[in-house]
Chains A and B, each alone.
Chain A
Amino acid sequence: MLAILTPIMRIIEIPMLALQRLLGINRLAWVFLLPNLVLFGLFAFLPVFLNVVYAMTGSDNVLLVDRPFVGARNFGTLMDCSSYLDPNTCREDKFWRAVWNTGWFVTLQVGIMVGFSLLTAIILNRDIRARGFFRSVFFFPVLLSPVVVALIWKWILQREGLLNAFLDWTGIGGINWLVDAQWAFTWSVFISVWAHMGFYTLILLAGLQAIPRDVYEAATMDRASPWRTFRKITLPLLSPTMLVVLVLALIKGVQTFDEVYAFTGGGPGTATTFIIQYIYEEGFAGAPRLFGLAAAASLLVALVLVLLTLVQLWLNRRNVDG
């Protein structure tokens, strides 16, 4: 690898040296920054502004010059509802179904996942043998691709799959899991927890290990019960890490798409269609391609994510200072 890179670096050195002579050492910093900033500009900041333009224009043309200005009409379409609690009364019922699905999904997934991650981290933090091994057992699904996760579980849950064979054997009888709306949703939450909990376990374990040992020794001296020790020492000292984990899990949960899309395709019906899938389908999969509606929905999601990210940054800063 190095053998290929060295001549390339030599070639880059020639213009860089010329620039260094021209600009001086400190202004050369901008040259080093340039590629990164150009990429950020083109693929992060410019899209944010264009997103607003798309959200305010109509038609299925992707070129901005061909798109008539419609003002807030796209937002109006999304928000046109007699009752926000009942997607059936909405003009874009699919959008509101996706919003509600995502809301429920995030609540359940984050709650269950953080709960199990905490339990696992506490167990891994005990004096157990082969901790490294067990830690990687829980961690390794994090590395699997979403499509692979979906297929692994689809294979187990299919009509004549392993789980149904087991249920048949116990006498309960098999269930056609992914055809039933509620089961499909439940299993979507399950595979998402399965795939991601190792990541949060790792962070919580690091948080637990950062709690000084002598605090626990003092608690033992005072004959505090394990439960009391947990409630009065572990939980309060872990709460900054818990908050970070919660916010991170929320940020990722809202953006859930890949594994559920490969797992259920958003169905049956719209039972597992989430907000990113709505954006994908309006903008890219359907005909006509409703870029304006997709962009408007993106902006609403972005708003939620910006708020969550600000909380995250604030938490990070607070944790570093405190």
Chain B
Amino acid sequence: MSRIWSFLTATRGSGRLHWTDWVSYGYLVLGILLMFGPVVWLVLSSFKTQNELDRFPPRFLPYAQETMELPGFDEALPLFTVTEGEYAGEVVAQTRRAAGRAEIVLPVDPETRIRLQATQLEPIERIAFATENYTDLFERFNFLRFLWNSTFITVTATLLMLLVNSMAAFALSKYEFRGRTGVLLIVIGTLMIPQTVVLVPLFLIVTQMGMFNSLWGVIIPGAATPTGVFLLRQYMITIPDEILDAARMDKASEWKIFWRIIVPLSAPAIAVLAILAIMWRWNDFLWPLIVLTQSENFTLQLALNSFQGELQTDWTSLLAMTVLTLLPIAAVFMFLQKYIATGIASTGGK
């Protein structure tokens, strides 16, 4: 115990904890609660049955009532303990309940119906995860379709973006040609045109190209990004020209140099961009909302948003769907946390 204590109270510097250290750790613990707490609550709630969700005040863990199959009854009956009266302490199964009165049977004698006050009964519960909330999603909704749409958009858009942006970055970092400064200025210029301010004309162009209500209408307009070009160019500049010259001596074509030398050597930068692109695309909302109006084309984000309007009270499905939507991002985060942090810090977000 004392070793744990000394581990916790030791500082990286020397000496014991100053009061400011206590304040800092207090702040950080509060931070954990505030940042992780809501997500933990979401995940726990997603495993609760409808009955349990309706309960107020809510309980921390998901519980379900014990049930028992008895001869003569089609469905499993919920189990209770009787708290007072003649049958106090007995475990009983409830067959009906109405207006504060409950009809119960003893498991040993399912034939005899006994009437009791509902207040005399205490439900027998155990911790149980209602996994049917998740399996129902696949039966009740077109969930796989939304998952496929989101995955298709994310994967295709990321690959396309990496290819197009790395080609441009290669040209801008490894070739001397007239107009290079002009092109760089154009790329910087596009920084000033976020999608949010050109929604109307973008909608016209996409519609005219026949991509309205098509996944391609979401994928193509965002395929070229100024941040992507800059990030990759910055990295490619550091690749020595001698390598390219050596390859040219060996009669390698320019495309082969790009594909066989530049792309593999830029792998760290490409990886960072790939992670960022996956995040943007998976979480993208406004533009898909405009382009994809038919529900069979919905991405997970759109489906989630439209269901929260339709299923005002059906939180069981909604919570499970929310958890499934954040799962891929959580997985990416766990494994690639470090790259994401450096990537975002170096590009300034989008």
Contacts and interface: CB of A to CB of B under 8 A. Distances in A.
A284 interface: yes
The B interface is mostly helix, strand or loop, or mixed, namely helix
A64 B25 CA distance: 60
B203 interface: yes
Contacts, number: 281
Contacts of B283: 143-146
What is the size category of the interface that chain B forms with chain A? 35 or more
Interface string B126-164: 000000000000000000000000000000000000011
A64 B301 CA distance: 32
Interface in B294-347: 301, 304-305, 308-309, 315, 318-319, 322, 325-326, 329-330, 332-333, 337, 340-341, 344-345
B28 A51 contact: no
B203 A62 contact: yes
A146 B205 contact: no
Interface string A16-38: 11001000011111101101110
A302 B202 contact: no
B34 A128 contact: no
Given A20-B253, A54-B201, A37 B177 contact: no
A202 B345 CA distance: 7
Contact of B344 (A35, A202, A298): A202
Nearest to A1: B159
B200 A37 contact: no
Given A33-B171, A147-B301, A9 B200 contact: no
Given A128-B24, A202-B344, A262-B305, A36 B197 contact: no
B198 A51 contact: yes
Contacts of B20: 126, 226
Interface residues of A, number: 100
A49 B198 CA distance: 9
Contacts of B176: 26
A152 B325 CA distance: 12
Interface stretch (B84-92, B97-105, B112-120, B218-226): B218-226
Contacts of A279: 196, 199-200
Contacts of B349: 199, 248, 252
Interface in A26-80: 26-30, 32-33, 35-37, 39-40, 42-51, 53-54, 62-64
Contacts of B282: 145
5 contacts: A30-B177, A33-B183, A50-B205, A156-B38, A206-B345
Interface of A: 9, 12-13, 16-17, 20, 25-30, 32-33, 35-37, 39-40, 42-51, 53-54, 62-64, 119-120, 123, 126-129, 134-148, 151-156, 160-162, 165, 168-169, 194, 198-199, 202-203, 206, 226, 244, 248, 252, 255, 257-258, 262, 265, 276, 279-280, 283-284, 291, 294-295, 298-299, 301-302, 305-306, 309-310, 313
